[in-house]
Amino acid sequence: MGRAPAPTPEREPGVEEILRARAPQGPVSKKLPGPVAWFDVRSRSTGHLAFSMNRITGLGLVFYLYLHLAVLSTLLGGEDAWNGFLELATTPLFLGLDVLLVFGLLAHGLNGTRLSLIGSGFVPNHQKALFWSFMAFGAILLVYTAVHVFGGEG
Amino acid sequence: MMADGTRTVRVHRFKRGDDEPRVEEHRVPVEGITTVLEALRWIQLREDPTLGLRHSCFHASCGTCGVRVNGREGLACVTKLADVPGTVTVDPIANLPVLHDLVVDMTPFVERFPPPHPIVRESEFLPESATPEGLDGNDRFEDCIECGLCLSACPVAATDDTYLGPAALAYAQRMLEESRGADRDALLDWADQDAGAWRCHAAFECTEACPSGVRPAQRIMMLRKELRRPRPGRAPEEPAADTSEHF
Amino acid sequence: MSVSTGPSTRSRSWRWTAITGVSLLVLVTIHMVAHHFVVDEVGGLRTYQHVLDYIATPAIFVIEGIFLVVVTAHAMLGLRSVVLDFGLSEMWRRRLERALVVLGIVTVAYGFVLIGVLASRA
């Protein structure tokens, strides 16, 4: 014997629904349009620079992940295919790109560590000092890496 | 006013019905202590009475005169032109609809706050009383003058109009810190929604922009700490339409 | 009945982004040292046979496999964070999130196939 389902109680609209339903009364002032507004760091301070840098390096590293898988796939083509890649990869331009990759890894990794700390409620009042000290440490590591990468024996 | 010189002030202009906003330039006589608000009032009184702007107290306690000066948020009444290099460009605060010139619609800002939203709470403590147990000090959140500068500065609010924003989230944290009978679970649920505390990217622009020392970014981090704690007493059949389940 | 629930479910994404991120500090360091600081060739890059011998070592296979999973998870969580900022409707957000899950699974699967085939050729 079927029973009519209980009527769904009407719930109050959430904030998101209220804000989406509201017709804007006028143009909203922004420097850049919505999805890339985070990219505009003009007149902004350390925290925003860190956020934009984190996002740019993150997107760059995602691109690199797939590029790396594609490059490693040349190994499937045998020794000649891999040697072809190695010839390209040991040119100064590519070694420079390697150093750029290390920059991206250091910037994203060290800033990410900073975000984990402050996002967990540790030292949120020292976020600027944390950023600059981590970047200084990263710069030292980057210089060391660059010297090693370019100075390696061939 | 006896002028030390003049400054070029470029002002954002928009009226309903206009296709696009425009910028108008004025040469304003200034002294060493002339503020942005005084310059705007001079333009309004001497050159263009149709210039729309909001202001009230003239001493940074009402939060009405928020603007962006050369891209940075500030209260016009206490921003000195002497501290602004080069040509001065005044825009309305960002991420809220512009009604007229420098006047924005604050309704979407206010709607973000969790209910209830008492503007003034009756104080239970006299200034000479001891600090209540569990609090480091009497750090009054009532410092928030709801000027909207934090929302204007927030890069997340710039990309997503539905993000609750620093002022509302910091308000919720303050209510948790000193609940006085407020429903903590409801506040935590409210902060935990898709457009809530977890959307903050820790840019700390809100703290930079805040003229009242509220430190909204730090409060959002503390709110997150609170959200990560287990909460006893919740009914298991409460729905959790959570997108994070996908990971 | 009073039931204790875990931490906020929406905090899970943030927590896993942080956990995978901190794990990557170790895993990326191992990976970079192994591929750029051990071998004497220019750039520290290995020859064909070196790569096969390297990936066929059981401990290395496991470490690189874990690295693959963790880096893909972190990448997908990061992309999800970017997608959330687009201000999309709930329907489109969920679609994109599902697409990221699929992309993540395909990436990990391809990676394991790749290192498995290479290890078998050593």
Residue A94 three-state SS: helix
Q: Is C32 among the domain residues?
A: yes
pLDDT, one tens digit for every residue, chain A (154 residues): 445 555 444 555 666 666 666 655 667 766 666 677 777 777 788 999 999 999 999 999 999 999 999 999 999 988 898 888 888 888 889 889 989 999 999 999 999 999 999 988 888 888 999 999 999 999 999 999 888 887 754 3
Number of domains in chain C: 1
- The dihedrals phi and psi of B26, each to the nearest 5 degrees, come to -135, 145
State the pLDDT at residue A119: 87
C-alpha span between A56 and A53 (Å, rounded): 5
Q: Is C58 among the domain residues?
A: yes
Predicted confidence (pLDDT) at residue C5 exceeds the cutoff of 50? no
Q: Are B93 and B66 within 8 A, CB to CB?
A: yes
C-alpha span between A69 and A85 (Å, rounded): 13
Tens digit of pLDDT for each residue in C55-104? Answer: 899 999 999 999 999 999 999 999 999 888 887 888 888 899 999 999 99
**DSSP code, position B80:** B
Query: Over the Cα atoms of chain A, what is R_g?
Result: 24
C-alpha span between A85 and C32 (Å, rounded): 18
CB contact under 8 A, A90 and C85: no
**Any idea what the CATH number is for the domain that residue C27 is in?**
1.20.1300.10
Distance from CA of C97 to the nearest CA of A (A): 16
State the pLDDT at residue A34: 67
Adjacent-strand bridge partners of B10:
B25, B89
State the pLDDT at residue C45: 66
Adjacent-strand bridge partners of B100:
B103
Predicted confidence (pLDDT) at residue B229 exceeds the cutoff of 90? no
C-alpha span between B35 and B38 (Å, rounded): 5
Q: Is C62 among the domain residues?
A: yes
Q: A79-89 and A92-119 helices cross at what angle (nearest 10)?
A: 80
Residue from A75, A90, A111, A113 whose CB has the most chain C CBs within 10 Å, to mutate: A75
Q: Is A64 on the interface with C (CB under 8 A)?
A: no
Contacts of B161 (CB under 8 A, 6+ apart): A19, A20, A28, A34, B95, B108, C87
Q: Which of the pair, A3 or B207, is modelled with greater confidence?
A: B207
Q: What is the pTM of this model?
A: 0.82
Q: Is C5 among the domain residues?
A: no
Chain C neighbors of A35, CB-CB under 8 A: 85-87
Rounded to two decimals, the ipTM of the complex is 0.87
Q: Are A51 and A38 within 8 A, CB to CB?
A: yes
Residue C85 three-state SS: coil
State the pLDDT at residue A26: 67
Nearest by Cα to B163 from B95, B215, B106: B95
Residue from A16, A49, A57 whose CB has the most chain B CBs within 10 Å, to mutate: A16
Q: Is C1 among the domain residues?
A: no
**Tokens read off for A47:** 């925290």
CB contact under 8 A, C21 and A72: no
The residue segments making up the domain with residue C98 are 13-121
Chain C neighbors of A109, CB-CB under 8 A: 21, 24-25, 28
Q: Is A152 on the interface with C (CB under 8 A)?
A: yes
Q: List the domain boundaries for chain A.
A: 45-151
A42-46, B5-9, C4-8: which has the minimum mean pLDDT?
C4-8
The average confidence (pLDDT) of chain B is 84
How many C-beta atoms surround the C-beta of residue C107 within 10 A? 20
Adjacent-strand bridge partners of B26:
B9
CATH class of residue range A45-151 = mainly alpha
Hey, what domains does chain B have and what are their CATH numbers? 5-96 (3.10.20.30), 107-233 (1.10.1060.10)
